[in-house]
Amino acid sequence: IYDSNKYNFMKQVKDGTIGEEVYKCFRKRIGEVSPSEKLAWRNSLRNMYSVLNNKLIPDDVGVFIEYRLPYQNRRIDFIVSGKNLDDSEHAVIVELKQWTEAKAIEHKHLVKTFVGHADREVSHPSYQAWSYAATLNEYNQVVQEDNIELHPCAFLHNYVVIDEEDPIVDANLFEEINQAPIFTRDDTKKLSDSVASF
């Protein structure tokens, strides 16, 4: 939906216009969006500004917001793409969540959290990010032909981990965490360094 670079994204966040920019792109390509989704964009994208505010991440890296997956209605929240020093191509897939807590349930890949004004069973964010990468590897011609290396992760920028048994970070419960790591409120610098390392 939104296709730009780090420089423009950072400027629009600083100017307070990023939510409106994404909304205009969304309305043009897909249609109307709920007020809650507009608010989520503003909140989450400010946090991604903090992640990208790193001199080691060049201004010309690609920034994609609400990237629609092929053959599906699902969208990737945020992608950062660019070339490494060895000229290899990389893309970091970021699943953004505003959650503050989650509970494990017995069904594989699911957690229970408060979304849409109620407690609901939803996919674990690592599973979501991992599945997005798997779909792109399977169906996206550019990813295949250009050998783009995908790095899925989830950023729960309001979530505070109490202990290692918290279901959101328990790799014993959700093995996808090993392939799509979770970053929470206190991990902004860690995520920033991770993006810069690719």
pLDDT digits (tens, 9 = 90+) for 187-196: 999 999 999 9
Provide mean pLDDT across the span 18-22: 91
DSSP H or E stretch at residue 15? helix 6-15
The chain-wide mean pLDDT, for the chain, equals 92
pTM of the shown model? 0.94
Task: Read off the pLDDT band of 115 (50, 70, 90).
Answer: confident
* pLDDT class of 13 with cuts at 50, 70, 90: very high
Q: What percent of the chain has pLDDT over 90?
A: 69
Per-residue pLDDT of 135-157, as tens digits, reads 999 999 999 999 999 999 999 99
List, for residues 58-106, the tens digit of each pLDDT value: 999 999 999 999 788 899 999 999 999 899 999 999 999 999 999 988 7
Task: Quote the tokens at residue 150.
Answer: 């995908």
Of the chain, the percentage scoring pLDDT greater than 70 comes to 100
Distances in Å between the Cα of 129 and the Cα atoms of 79, 123, 190 are: 11, 10, 18
- Please provide the DSSP assignment of 49-90 as one string: HHHH--TTS-TTSEEEEEEEPTTSS-EEEEEEEEE-TTS-EE
Position 35 pLDDT exceeds 80: no
Question: Given a cut of 80, is residue 107 above it in pLDDT?
Answer: no
190 or 29: which carries more pLDDT confidence?
Answer: 190
